[in-house]
Amino acid sequence: MIRVSTSKEGPDKVKLHVSVQDTGIGISPDDLKRLFKPFTQADGSTTRLYGGTGLGLVISKQLVALMGGQLACDSEPGQGTNFFFTVGLVVDRKAKARFRSPTHLESLQGKRILIVDDNATNRKILRHQTEVLGMKSDTAASGDEGLYKLLAAQQRGEGFDLAIVDFQMPVMHGLEFAQKTKADPAISEVPLIMLTSVGLRGDAQLAKEAGVIAYLSKPLRKSDLETTLLQVLDQTSSHGDQPLVTKHSIAESRPKFNLSILVVEDNLTNQKVASGMLRILGCRVELANNGQEAVQAFSPGKFHLVLMDCQMPVMDGYQATGAIRQLELEQGLSSGIPIIALTGHALEGAREKCLAAGMDDYLTKPYSFGKMVEILTRWFSRPIDDRSAPPLKEEEAAIAGRDQTAKPEEKVGSSPIDRGVLQSLAALQIEGDESIVARVIHAYLDGSNLLLAQIREAFDNREVERLGKAAHGLKSSSANVGAITLASMSRDVEMRCKNQSLPSDEQLIARMEAEFSA
């Protein structure tokens, strides 16, 4: 849980208070004394389980100190840890105008919203998100408390404009709460938004039958929450039966960019993630497995944009970009196609190297939907309604029943995968298509087996360059499916190889293999 608050210290100064709290394994008092020392963790086994060297805390402490503050920590074994700091900052008076709510969100300001969830962290997050929008929020920790607050507010003449309720709650679950709300004439008109962590086939229909207007899975993007609130309030003022608001309907309502894009990427997992994001945004995607295939696929006017991976076999992204720029020069084109570098390196100089090779912009891996939208918006400032690119293929435009229960292999369900990443992938599902989560996971499992075999062989043969390339590929694809620990291990190996320092500990490779098989 991240908390940020300010306290006034003068007319132009404030104290910024920041804390990061978890519910993890905690730290003993003895271990706290040496926690901020370089290359130290609370428990030597922690590195084996979670990766890392302990250097991050030292750097963080020094950064806070440079800002005039002090990083500290409170912890209790078995209960969790709270890292916190306070720094003094000067108020930027000109900044206020930049952070006003956009005009299209002004209709939310002053609306009263009740948040019903048994999880305190979820209540705090939703309360903060809605209050930032100018809404007046209240919370309830159970269905019974939620019903009481709805009725009490109505009797005071301060009824709620809408309510958000969690699906999975003890004693009274979300569906029962919705049914009781709609059965009471005094509060039956309150629009209901239902959130769920695990959506099963048929749950959305049950929610709609119970009177719910919007049914969405967690985690919920800020933009999706804003869109949902606006659509629910708009539906309330409309008459007649309205369709259920879901993540899919929100995605369908987004502007479509209608672009034809060449994705040049040798990693199959990354190909599927990138193409899934682009297709949900209305783009047509052609894939190339290396730079040579990209040059062969390229012709002026065929594509609007190229997403170019930098490290690939046969011909890398730098060479391919140079070849494409040469083709454009030979054909006398006044402006070249935008080529966006795809790279897992956020190191200093990486961006400059991409630009020097003739690329126009830079997108770091792992991909995020927000980053992809940002890139497309930057280069195509408004959605494109009419371009010379070929129309959508009939099978791509077809809409059929979506299988919302499709799941990756059971193996993934029990492995250390960040479920939030998988849920973000699920949000890219296009109706009528095979499950995108299953496609990505299958590609990841197949590709990772091959990469791990290459890593083992390269390590045994002391081939530094080959080991680094294989680790780079595994790092990138692991991050894109939420295998964060394996991605971190792979990055460690990659960075050692870049420094021409072959890992000497065979156990590191063994732990990577064990992490993948977990």
Give residue-wise pLDDT tens across range 215-261.
998 877 787 888 899 888 887 766 556 788 887 777 666 667 889 99
Mean pLDDT score, 153-160: 94
Residue ranges of the alpha helices (H) in 165-287? 174-183, 203-209, 222-236, 247-253, 268-280
Contact 492, 47 (CB under 8 A): no
Query: Residue 454 and residue 37: Cα distance in Å, rounded?
Result: 36
pLDDT reading at 406 higher than 50: no
Mean pLDDT score, 385-395: 33
pLDDT at 116: 96
Q: Give residues with Cβ within 8 angstroms of 451, minimum separation 6.
A: 470, 473, 474, 477
Domain boundaries, the chain: 2-96, 101-253, 260-391, 436-517
Query: Residue 383 and residue 385: Cα distance in Å, rounded?
Result: 6
**Six-digit token string for 167:** 């699906």
Name the CATH superfamily for 101-253: Response regulator (3.40.50.2300)
Query: Residue 488 and residue 469: Cα distance in Å, rounded?
Result: 15
Architecture of domain 260-391: 3-Layer(aba) Sandwich (3.40)
Half-sphere exposure of 66 (CA within 13 A, CB side): 6
Which range of 160-174, 199-213, 500-514 scores highest in mean pLDDT? It is 160-174
What share of the chain has pLDDT > 70, as a percent?
82
Contact 141, 166 (CB under 8 A): no
Q: Give residues with Cβ within 8 angstroms of 181, minimum separation 6.
A: 147, 150, 163, 187, 188, 190, 192, 211
The letter for the amino acid at 262 is: L
pLDDT at 2: 84
Nearest to 439 by CA among 323, 210, 270, 290: 270
Mean pLDDT score, 66-75: 89
Residue ranges of the alpha helices (H) in 67-139? 120-132
Q: Give residues with Cβ within 8 angstroms of 435, minimum separation 6.
A: 403, 406, 407, 429
Mean pLDDT score, 74-92: 87
18-34: pLDDT as tens digits? 999 887 788 888 887 77
354-379: pLDDT as tens digits? 888 899 988 888 878 878 888 898 88
Residue ranges of the alpha helices (H) in 301-460? 317-330, 350-356, 369-379, 394-397, 410-413, 419-426, 436-460
Mean pLDDT score, 53-60: 71
Contact 188, 141 (CB under 8 A): no
Position with higher pLDDT, 404 vs 381: 381
Which range of 85-99, 198-212, 453-467 scores highest in mean pLDDT? It is 453-467
Asked, as a colleague might, if the bond just before 416 is cis with ω within 30 of 0, I would say no
**For 201-210, 275-284, 376-385, 394-403, which range has the lowest pLDDT when averaged over its residues?**
394-403
Nearest to 339 by CA among 295, 393, 382: 295
The whole-chain average pLDDT of the chain stands at 81
pLDDT reading at 44 higher than 70: no
Residue pointed to by tokens 């009263």: 112
pLDDT at 266: 92
Fold match, 101-253 / 260-391: yes
Instruction: Give the 3-state DSSP-derived string for 94-109, with helices as H, strands as E and coil as C.
Output: HHHHHHCCCHHHHHHC
Confidence of residue 93 (pLDDT cuts 50, 70, 90): low
pLDDT at 103: 52
Q: pTM score, two decimals?
A: 0.50
Contact 108, 232 (CB under 8 A): no
**For 289-293, 385-389, 396-400, which range has the lowest pLDDT when averaged over its residues?**
396-400
pLDDT reading at 155 higher than 70: yes
Matching CATH number, 436-517, of 3.30.1360.30, 3.40.630.10, 3.40.50.1220, 1.20.120.160? 1.20.120.160
CA angle 277, 405, 393 (to 5 degrees): 40
Under the phi-then-psi rule, with left for phi > 0, alpha for psi from -120 to 50, and beta for the rest, what region is 416? beta
Contact 321, 339 (CB under 8 A): yes
Confidence of residue 480 (pLDDT cuts 50, 70, 90): confident
pLDDT at 262: 96
Confidence of residue 127 (pLDDT cuts 50, 70, 90): very high
pLDDT at 494: 86
Q: State the fold for domain 2-96.
A: Heat Shock Protein 90 (3.30.565)
